[in-house]
Amino acid sequence: MDVLYSRCAGLDVHKKTVAVCLLTPGEAGEPRRRIREFGTATFELRALAEFLRKHRITHAAMESTGVYWKPVFNLLESQCEIILVNARHVRNVPGRKSDVADCQWLASLLRHGLLEASFVPPRHVRELRDLCRMRTSLVRDAVRCGNRLRKVLEDANIKLDSVASNTLELRVTAFVALNFF
Q: Please write the tens of the pLDDT for every residue from 119-166.
A: 999 999 999 999 999 999 998 998 898 889 888 888 988 877 776 666
Residue 59 above 70 pLDDT? yes
Res 152: pLDDT: 87
Tell me 99's DSSP state: H
Residues 36-40 have a mean pLDDT of 95
Q: How far is CA 66 from CA 58, 70, 84, 87, 109, in A?
A: 25, 9, 12, 10, 21
Query: How many helices and strands (H and E) does the chain possess?
Result: 5, 5
User: In terms of C-beta distances under 8 Å and separation of at least 24 residues, what long-range contacts does 120-123 make, across chains too?
Assistant: 120/73, 120/82, 120/84, 123/74, 123/77
5-9, 82-86, 139-143, range with the lowest pLDDT:
139-143
Question: Within a 10 A sphere around the Cβ of 181, how many other Cβ atoms?
Answer: 7
Res 50: pLDDT: 96
Res 90: pLDDT: 75
Res 87: pLDDT: 81
CATH T-level fold of 8-119: Nucleotidyltransferase; domain 5 (3.30.420)
User: In terms of C-beta distances under 8 Å and separation of at least 24 residues, what long-range contacts does 112-118 make, across chains too?
Assistant: 112/1, 112/2, 112/3, 112/4, 113/2, 113/4, 113/5, 115/61, 115/83, 115/85, 115/89, 115/90, 116/85, 116/86, 116/89, 117/83, 117/84, 117/85, 118/64, 118/84, 118/85, 118/86
Residue 78 CA to residue 45 CA, distance in Å, equals: 14
Res 69: pLDDT: 93
Structural domain spans, the chain: 8-119, 124-180
